[in-house]
Amino acid sequence: MASKIRPSTNPRQTIRLNKKSRIKKKIDRHKGEIARLVVYRSNKFLYAQVVDDLKANTLAQGDTQEDTFKQFSSRKNLEAAKALGKLVGQRALEKKIDRVLFDRNGYDYHGRVKALADGAREAGLKF
């Protein structure tokens, strides 16, 4: 994905980059105070990680490529997204992280992204 908006940049990417920069401004206010739950959505899989920006360190992570997701009919549907949220939430709680900022990475808050957030909330994370 392009990191700069140029005249030849796909309009969908332009919209997502603009959303991403707005979200980043809000997250930068709390940088270093609270860990960040970052979501990345590809066409096949979902990825989520809890990041400590102050130390530039990944504290907990998970993705739907793991073997635990082979039981699902699809690794990119809402069920898998919710299970991934629960998994990442449990891993974060094991590391004694109970509060996070949700960085949806420019994606709309619905569908798989929302299901992942709901799963993390069910596991015990507070946004």
Asked if residue 4 is part of any domain, the answer here is no
In angstroms, rounded to a whole number, what is the distance separating the alpha carbons of residues 48 and 40? 6
In angstroms, rounded to a whole number, what is the distance separating the alpha carbons of residues 29 and 114? 23
For residue range 61-100, list pLDDT tens digits in order.
999 999 999 999 999 999 999 999 999 999 999 999 999 9
Are residues 115 and 85 in contact, defined by beta-carbon separation less than 8 angstroms?
yes
pLDDT of residue 5: 79
Asked if residue 5 is part of any domain, the answer here is no
Question: What residue numbers bound the domain in which 97 lies?
Answer: 19-123
pLDDT of residue 8: 82
The mean per-residue pLDDT over the stretch 15-25 comes to: 91
Asked if residue 10 is part of any domain, the answer here is no
pLDDT of residue 120: 97
Asked if residue 80 is part of any domain, the answer here is yes
Number of structural domains, the chain? 1
26 pLDDT higher than 90 = no
In angstroms, rounded to a whole number, what is the distance separating the alpha carbons of residues 97 and 36? 10
Count the neighbouring beta carbons within 10 Å of the beta carbon of residue 62: 24
31 pLDDT higher than 90 = no
CATH number of the domain where residue 27 is located? 3.30.420.100
In angstroms, rounded to a whole number, what is the distance separating the alpha carbons of residues 127 and 125? 7
Are residues 48 and 38 in contact, defined by beta-carbon separation less than 8 angstroms?
yes
pLDDT confidence band for 34 (50 / 70 / 90): very high
